[in-house]
Structure 1
Amino acid sequence: MKKLFFLSVLLFGIFSFSQTLSSTLNKTTLALGEPAVLKINIENLQGKDVKSAPKNELLPFHLEETKDEIIKKQNNYTREIEFAVFEEGKFQIPALDFKIGENTYKTIPYEIEVINTAKKGDKISDIMNNKEVKLGLKDYWQLYKFYVLGAIALIALFIIIYYFIRYSKREKNTPKVISNKTLKDLELLKKKKYIENGNYRLFYVELLEITRNFISTQYRIPANVLLTDDLIDFMKQNNTISQENEKVVEDIFLRGDLVKFAKTFPDKETMGADFNDIKDFVKRSSKDIEFENIRSDV
């Protein structure tokens, strides 16, 4: 008798301090898309934490969850999942893991059968007959205005890019811009102090190179590939460069060739005068271009 009493007390203690997990499924046969509810309940929690799969991820992927609600209290835990299946056939809900404190519990598995309740030959009717709606200009504008505005914006963007490229190139190649660049190159040459140091050969080599590049760019004359004599003949026949500027280029280029081949040795005054003459020639070149443009128009 005493043994029976102690056994009863022991069983009562075990059940009074253990957790009870139960699950219910309201339907095991479903129509396509019909909702079903799986409910998991845990009692006698005693404040322990419950861990399981995250919301909307508890059931297999072919069971589409539409609701997943968890209610947890001090001694109770309830999780209610509403789901639907959109394929015919038999599907399994496996045993689901729930960790309570340090222990893991499993629900019982279920098998669900999904059937198509529509019968062959059933007629499907619209609730209302189709109606023809006449659209006005305002309606068409509301439908397509964003396409029209997008097309206009795209065309405007292309026009802006075109003119930007066109005028930016033109700005870079204006006579004034070319002259200013060459004047900067001449100032860099002056800072090398070839004149002060009497380094006449390097002075004339670089002075003629700068001038050739300038003539090629400003006047569109192939000065970079022509010998001095050919360049002088070309300038005289072309008549693009004024006679004043032409004379400056001829004198300095002929003297520069003599210097390069050590046939003459200019003094500092001559070198300085040639530098200033080329500088003045570059500044005056815009007048040559203006005259040529007027002549071309005529």
Structure 2
Amino acid sequence: MRRAAAVVLLLVLAAAAAGWLLTAPDPLTAADLPRHEPDAANGERMFYAGGCTSCHAAPGARGDEKLRLAGGLDLTSPFGTFRVPNISPDPDSGIGGWSDVDFVNAVMRGVSPDGEHYYPSFPYPSYARMRVEDVLDMKAFIDTLPAVRSTVAGHALAFPYSIRRAVGVWKRLNMHPEPVVALAGAGPEVARGQYLVEGPGHCGECHTPRDALGGARLDQWLAGAPNPEGRGTIPNITPHADGIARWSTGDIAYSLETGFKPDFDSFGGSMVAVQDNMARLPAEDRAAIAAYLKAVPPLPDAVTSQARTGAESGG
């Protein structure tokens, strides 16, 4: 009996140790970073492509105030409320004390300087597709912005989502740093657009449906999704009849620059802030994004398809 109990105990301990290892963060070291002379001008380009002000500016900020990255925005979700942190260069309440490798690990690995997982309300699954040099340039630009002293409260999450270590399992299931779409023979413009959309632009974080654990359904890439803010839906932006098949590349680029759509309507909701950021990119980047969106596989609207499937199955 004692031998059996000892075997069970050993199995339990082995399973616990294996689980601890499987959920461990996987940060880079300083030695893993390339030699790179930071380019703050390119960093500004990446900053706006990444939409940093959309979440990290104080709620309601306008104009230059949006460059005061004090955080404080509440992001509601089925898992609880995520609170966006201060990423200004303030050394105490912001990220002014972070090293280059701290910043790269946060953005590309979702790991804090203390070695803890960040929750994927921070879109690092997309940022993981960025080039390290672009991330270092982004830090160089953020370092030029105003330091703001502002402490943000922690997240308010229900159990078991409050177990931060469990994010390690989520990452193993959902971190895919390779390109989402295989585009054989794509030219430089489409390749640039793919980088911007799949990486810093993190368009799939909203425009792609998610599974029960919040992982992106990459088989329905950019096919639309329920609105994470809780009302309405996020549109399909693939070149399908349910999406933007009737939009030309010029239509897409113009909409990203001005906010006006081909049907003479304008963007609304969270897309207003996204468009404001996109308008600050060079015209060639908006054209590249448009070229990529017309090159991805056309897919039927994911929200409509799911609703139809549920109705047919009695759900």
TM-score normalized with structure 2 length: 0.19
User: More strand by proportion, 1 or 2?
Assistant: 1
Bigger relative contact order, structure 1 or 2, given CA contacts below 8 A and separation 6+? Answer: 2
TM-score normalized with structure 1 length: 0.20
User: More helix by proportion, 1 or 2?
Assistant: 1
